[in-house]
Amino acid sequence: MSKTALLFAGQGAQVVGMGKDLAEKFPAAQAWFDRANAALGYDLTGICFNGPEADLTKTENAQPGIFLVSWIAFQLLKAQAPQLKYDAAAGLSLGEFTALTAAGALSFEDGLRVVRQRGKFMQEACDVTQGGMAAIIGLEEAPTREVCAEAGVVLANLNCPGQLVISGEAEKIKMACELAKTKGAKRALPLPVAGAYHSPLMASAQSKLGAELARVNLVMPGIPVISNVTAQAHGTPAEISARLVEQVCASVLWEASMRALIAQGYTRFIELGPGTALSGFLKRIDKSVTLLNVADAASLQATLTAL
DSSP, collapsed to helix, strand or coil, labels residue 4 as: strand
What pLDDT shows up at residue 139?
96
Distances (CA, A) of 267 to 262, 287, 292: 6, 10, 11
Closest CA to 258 of 235, 234, 236, 279: 279
Confidence of residue 193 (pLDDT cuts 50, 70, 90): confident
- pLDDT exceeds 90 at position 239: yes
What pLDDT shows up at residue 34?
98
198 part of the active site: yes
Cα(194)–Cα(199) distance, integer angstroms: 13
Residue 279 · residue 16 · CB < 8 Å: no
Percentage with pLDDT > 90 across the chain:
98
Give mean pLDDT, residues 222-243.
98
Percentage with pLDDT > 70 across the chain:
100
Cα(187)–Cα(30) distance, integer angstroms: 41
Cα(164)–Cα(76) distance, integer angstroms: 33
pLDDT tens digits for 86-127?
999 999 999 999 999 999 999 999 999 999 999 999 999 999
Write down the catalytic residue from 70, 93, 251, 257. Answer: 93
Cα(251)–Cα(214) distance, integer angstroms: 23
Q: What is the pTM of this model?
A: 0.97
Task: Please name the residues in contact with 263: beta carbons below 8 A apart, sequence gap of 6 or more.
Answer: none
pLDDT tens digits for 266-290?
999 999 999 999 999 999 999 999 9
Cα(184)–Cα(144) distance, integer angstroms: 10
pLDDT tens digits for 148-185?
999 999 999 999 999 999 999 999 999 999 999 999 99
Distances (CA, A) of 153 to 105, 118, 165, 199, 307: 34, 23, 11, 8, 43
The mean predicted confidence, pLDDT, of the chain is 97
Tell me, what amino acid is at 85?
Answer: K
pLDDT tens digits for 220-231?
999 999 999 999
Task: For residue 292, give the DSSP letter.
Answer: E
- pLDDT exceeds 90 at position 1: no
Write down the catalytic residue from 167, 198, 234, 251. Answer: 198
β partners of residue 291? 269
- pLDDT exceeds 90 at position 192: no
Cα(300)–Cα(306) distance, integer angstroms: 10
Residue 61 · residue 119 · CB < 8 Å: yes
Cα(60)–Cα(124) distance, integer angstroms: 10
- What top-level class would CATH report for the domain 3-127+200-306? alpha beta
* CATH topology for the 131-190 domain: Alpha-Beta Plaits (3.30.70)
Q: Please state the domain extents for the chain.
A: 3-127+200-306, 131-190
